[in-house]
Chains A and B, each alone.
Chain A
Amino acid sequence: MPKIQIVGRSYPQIDGMEKATGRTRFASDIKLAGMLHARVLRSPYPHARILNIDTSRAKALPGVKAVVTYADTPGIKFGPRSDDWTIFADDKVRFCGDEVAAVAAVDEDTAEEALELIRVEYEELPFVESPLEALKPGAPLVHEDHPGNVAAEFKVEAGDVDRALANSHVVCEESFYTNQTYQAYLEPMGAVADVDLAGRITLYAGNQIPSMIRVPYAKALGLTLDQVRVVLPDYGGGFGAKMETNTHLVAMLLAQKTGRPVRHFNTRHDDFIAGNPRVPMYIDIKLGADKEGVITGKEVKVIGDAGARIVYSQIIVATACYRVDSLYRFKNVRAKGITAYTNTVPTSCFRGFGNTQATFVLESAMDILAHKLGMDPAEMRVKNSIGPDSVSVHGWKINSCGLKECVEEATKMSGWAEKKAKKRPLKGIGLSCCNHVSGNRAFAREFDGGAGIVRIGRDGRISVYHGESDMGQGQKTVYAQIAAETLGVPLDWVSVMQVDTDISPWGFGSFATRGTLMGGNGVLAASKDAFIKLAQVAADMMESNVDDVVCEGGRFYVKGSPDKSLDFKEVALNATDSNHGSPVMGTGFYDPPTVLPDPKTKQGNISPAYPFGCQIAEVEVDPTTGKVTVTNFVAAHDVGRAINPMALEGQIQGGVAQGLGWTLMENMVTNKGKVANANFLDYLIPTALDMPPVEPKLIEPYEPNGPYGAKGIGEPAINPTMSAITNAIYDATGVRITELPVSPEKLLAEMEKLKGSHEG
């Protein structure tokens, strides 16, 4: 075989130049002939009965083509994983931002003007803002058919937790809270919907699950699956949020009503108040260890806030209950998760999917135990680290695992030992580890995997079709690298095609850090299939055996005689001509060795591969203001074999930036049922100036289930960041952070308390 040339090398993203020069047409740039513009009227109340809606004046406004409310929908209840959605509020609104009505008009100004002409009579109802309040007896009910506001419960248990904790040398018992944050992608959610005479809808929407999203949408509109086609334009980020949203359905419904293409994008304000922000969680943990620092048992209780309807919050709460149990060699674990409805914005996926919340909690508790034991927190991680070729407490099969190497490299790079030994006032260093998945069988239920189609045209151009979703993370480039490597051609001969559900394979999409492994394996299988087909033609042309034919740098030759070679393009031309125009088509799929976890025991391998990481933060705390400055950051991640190191480093730096923002400033504040800071002047995300140098390090054990040995990076990049910083704050000040974000005010107050207790 020729040596690997394209996989493992750093390439700028293949569409990077187009994006940097403003040529990319993003989802919100799409304009179709005759297109109308939509706007949604949203509830101003967190909870209210709708007594009457009068749309007559809005309908009479010149330029308005349709005004719709619940009465104009099929009235079918639906949802990605529940049946608690309607496209518009029926008898009552359940959160500030709930969809009440929508307008399609000739331009946005007219649509907006029309909104002001819609009269809605509400009767305000008592509302509930916090999941703890929602679960109390007598709390106002968000959904009458869900007594106690319990949206879902999850339980998992393995081993004997009570005995393990009772026999522990040290136990950490602590309560944590992780707040609500917003994904803050560059482009708000939205879509253009177009309908043909047969009633078939084409939806141009930037979203992470172009195939899956059709299922609930078809149901909501009373259509069959084949009547909903999704085309995936380039789009401005997602971070987990861009899955199902009524924002898309509004465009679809209005397109049906008007027979014209309809564009509907959230304003930034609407995106804040009715997007899919992170699930806030209250997490109580008990974690025990023996004298040597070996973990004995763990118990957690999680209460998560679903908001007013379920997007994916209950799976996120379940994930927070047990995914992190495969980071260390746990034997005794128990978790209970409750997902509660509240009258707030529905919450959903955000990079890390519950494992971020759980990692913050576990890795804070590990730090607490290490200090109780007087043990180096790094050593304690290594001691408990799950190893390669092992099976975790929940039956997850870990093949490759570079966790120990991650800790070793990160501590070396940061000068951990010296800095720990030489304590400097108000300066601190903190460490945190993480694990994650590369695909989650529990989420993709019917089957999991990935598929690809590779077409080689008469001109030799290679087109790769996949069903996942590139939102800027670099998926297209990785797929192009895999195809180019497998076919033996230069990278720029490969185009990675837009996902179009009429053409592309069914893909589950981009979540669960699965794009590189699942989609990549699908593209790899299709590339191999295409190669064999083309190599057969080359073999015939060279009068050789197909098994002896290789391709390198775009030239076919017979093993051993590279000087007598054939141009790949000449072979492609020959192949198509002899097939009377039919291109060489390679198809293939990847069937991961995973199972649906047992519904009772939750045992079962949910992912073909598991990435790991270790991050170390250094901070400085201002003793008069309580302000934390992160001064340095290293992040060592086990990514399997790197396919594109440059893209991986970008993902790591981005994840750390997002985690730093969460730790120090990002916070959606709800006040009297309303998001109080639904704009970027009041909702703060870090700027370039707020970022310390972030030094990434790739740890590359070969993953047998990965394409060319690769695993994923998207979510692990953020999982350990929060606790790395808060553990560093502890090192600097002695203050244990149990609530995110860390406001200077809170930290200062805690520092004063400590001072008081030392002096007193």
Chain B
Amino acid sequence: MLLPSFTYHRPGGLAEALAMLDGFGGQAKLLAGGTDLLVNMKHGKQAPAQLIDLDGLAELKASGSRGDALELGAGLKAAAIAGGLGGAAPQALAQGAGALGSPQVRNRASLGGNLVTARPAADMCVPLLALGARVALVSPAGERQVDLPEFFLGPGLTALHPSEVLTRVLLAKPRPGEGSGYGKLGLRKALEIPLVNVAAWLALEADGKTIKEARVALGAAAPTPMLSPGAAKALAGATAGDDAFAAAAFAAAADARPIDDHRGSAEYRRDMVAALTKRCLGQALAQARGN
């Protein structure tokens, strides 16, 4: 229950962090806000001998757009993202970041930490999946980019190599005619690991009615945050509205593979996936229509 001992390192830049990580050869862990890592260490689930603190690295805190892409630094705090990043953050992501923990936790929790911890219902992972995000992974050998569905491998398990740092999250810049929404179901209004959470994104055709493309992401519905292929299929080409959303909700519930535990039965979770899917699609549509 006490924090095990470790050596703390504070690199001056990303290059130095990468060199340290390489040098310690698997003995080290990257530390961002510490809201997952330090908790795990206290519970004896992890005991790295070396901690490399990324929190001071300006390179990881930038956000901006490059062409059609929006790039978010992995070091950005949930609090900043919840604040909307000056209007740049897609709605579902800002909502997700705002639903994470409490003000104190949001001031420490980073985007990169949330993705690398890869909890099945993580509040930023689920929206980013719906938004079609990729992550940039940098090692001394260079950079590679991985789509989120390939990045999440299991609870706490990702495609990140021990020598890599997640530097940025890349997604398409929100355009008119697109919208997204996020919903989380728990017993209380803050500091809550959701029973289920859902994010939805959709793009309308120029007619403002037909759905060009849509994605629905589900949390706590499988060992990793997951996309619902059924929902995407039900929505593509359909007329946006209650019928299509009900079909998508039905498909999402069918795709979900939730567990039974003392917090809720699999059956209830599945029903709630459907309920939240409808709500999130409603939010996404409202945004896509500009209201």
Contact = CB atoms under 8 A, between A and B. Distances in A.
Nearest to A746: B268
Given A625-B272, A627-B185, A687-B102, A671 B190 contact: no
Given A109-B2, A676-B262, A687-B102, A748 B189 contact: no
Contacts of A745: 264-265, 268
B187 interface: yes
A689 B188 contact: yes
A112 B43 CA distance: 12
Contact of B187 (A109, A624, A665, A689): A665
Interface in B252-270: 262-265, 268
Given A624-B275, A625-B272, A744-B187, A684 B1 contact: no
A542 B196 CA distance: 78
By DSSP majority rule, is chain B's interface helix, strand, loop, or mixed? loop
Contacts of B188: 665, 684, 686-687, 689-690
B1 A687 contact: no
Contacts of B268: 745, 748-749
Interface in B140-196: 185, 187-193
Contacts of B193: 681-682
Contacts of B185: 625, 627, 744
Nearest to B265: A745
Interface in A671-699: 671, 676-677, 681-682, 684, 686-687, 689-690
A609 interface: no
Interface in A277-313: none
A269 interface: yes
Contacts, number: 49
A684 to B, nearest CB: 6
A408 interface: no
Interface residues of A, number: 26
A108 interface: yes
B262 A671 contact: yes
Contacts of A358: none
Q: Which of A109, A624, A627, A682 gathers most chain B CB within 10 Å?
A: A624
Contacts of A677: 262
A743 B2 CA distance: 34
B1 A112 contact: yes
B190 A689 contact: yes
A669 interface: yes
A625 B273 CA distance: 10
Interface string B185-210: 10111111100000000000000000
A224 interface: no
A687 B272 contact: no
Nearest to A270: B1
Contacts of A109: 2, 5
Contacts of A627: 185, 187
Interface in A584-633: 624-625, 627
Nearest to B186: A684
Contacts of A686: 188
Interface string A37-51: 000000000000000
A690 B189 contact: yes
A682 B194 CA distance: 11
B189 A687 contact: yes
A582 interface: no
A192 interface: no
30 contacts: A108-B2, A109-B2, A109-B5, A112-B2, A267-B1, A269-B1, A624-B275, A625-B275, A627-B185, A665-B187, A671-B262, A676-B262, A681-B193, A682-B193, A682-B263, A684-B187, A684-B188, A686-B188, A687-B102, A687-B188, A687-B190, A689-B189, A689-B190, A690-B188, A690-B189, A690-B190, A743-B187, A743-B264, A744-B185, A748-B271
* 3 nearest CB pairs, A to B: A689-B189, A745-B268, A624-B275
Interface of B: 1-2, 5, 102, 185, 187-193, 262-265, 268, 271-272, 275
Given A112-B2, A689-B188, A745-B268, 5 more contacts: A669-B262, A682-B193, A687-B189, A690-B190, A743-B187
